Structure formats: C-alpha cells, structure tokens
Copies of this chain bind each other. A is one copy, B any other.
Amino acid sequence: MQLIYAAASPFARKTRVVASETGLTSRLGLIETTVLPVDVNERVNAVNPLGKIPVLLTDDGEALYDSRVICEYLDSLHDKPRLFPADPGRRWRTLRLAALADGVMEAAVLTRYERAARPAERQWDEWVDGQLAKVRRGLASLEVSTDLLNEPLDIAQIGVACALGYLDFRFAELNWRHESPKLAAFNEQFADRDSMRSTAPV
C-alpha cells in the first residue's frame, strides 16, 4: 500500500497514526506531497478528483479517500482490538467524538487557508472569527468530556490528538492549554506515543 500525504496535514497524520498503532507501518509506503485548494496537483488529482490528501493506494489498485475511509480500511487489516469499536454502546460516541475532532481540524485548516494563502485584502475577519469559534467551542466540549478519551485506544483519541497537534503546529498563539487543562493532560500523555512522535509536523 502507498499513502499520499502531506507532512503538515492533521487528516493525513490520523491515517499514519492508525497505521502505526495497528502495526501496518512496514506495509505502507509513503509518498509526500503538498496540496492547496487554489493550486493544481496533477498527481493527487489523478487518484482523487477532489485534489485532497490523504489518498491510500491499496494493493488491489484502488485509490481510497478521505481520511476517515482510509482509517477504517486500515482498521480492517489487522488483528488487534478495533480502533472503530463495533459495540454500539461505544461506536456512536466514538464516531461522534472523531467527527468533532475532524471538524476542529477542518475549521483550523480553513482558517489557515484564509490567513496564509489568500491575499491580505481578500481576507475576511468574520470568517476567521467564525471558524476559530468552532475550534474554541470544540475544545471546550472536549474539555468536559475527557473521560471519553480513556483507554482502550480508539479513533476518537487519535483524532483529538492530531487536532491538538495541528493547533500547536499552526496556531500556537491560541494557547489552547490555558483553558483546557484536562485536555492538555490527555495530550501530554498521548503525544508521547511512538505513533505520534514519528508523525509530528515540523
């Protein structure tokens, strides 16, 4: 299998962490690239018409996306406990939390596009404010539900940790730990995993 990814992408990082945690790293070739909605990346477009990463090229010759589909696919390839729990009691809560983490990443990435890619005179403060409000409310919600981020390891913990890692990488000025001490404690422990250390953006 080969994963087309960008080192800075929290969505791609999720898939790499899943591969690491499930013992699949040695079966996964890595192809690094970068994408931006206003640029054309023919290599990515050829396998994902949306022009987004990550894309997983499977051994069967299929191109899989988006990150959620790739994570669930990888989770079907190993014999350890599932990261996407099958038990309904845990499954929906876990998928909801993972969707929250994805939404925080999405709002942060849209903010990054606004500030770093768009010409200054075309930037709109209300858009940034609206997206960062999603991030802040998301963190506040996670702060009061850190008890849901306990072991056993699942896709929600991985998603939350990748979202927090992206905030540290691109939005250090948010100083998110200040209002989220429980989440900070979760993150300090989780970020120390090999899977997280080996995929940290630099």
Contacts and interface: CB of A to CB of B under 8 A. Distances in A.
A42 to B, nearest CB: 11
A77 B41 CA distance: 41
B141 A100 contact: no
Interface residues of A, number: 49
A200 interface: no
Given A50-B107, A66-B99, 17 more contacts: A37-B130, A38-B127, A39-B130, A40-B133, A49-B138, A50-B137, A50-B138, A63-B96, A65-B96, A65-B100, A66-B102, A69-B92, A69-B96, A76-B88, A118-B124, A122-B122, A122-B123
Interface of A: 36-40, 45, 49-52, 58, 62-66, 68-69, 72-73, 76, 88, 92-93, 95-96, 99-100, 102-104, 107, 118-119, 121-124, 126-127, 129-131, 133-134, 137-138, 140-141
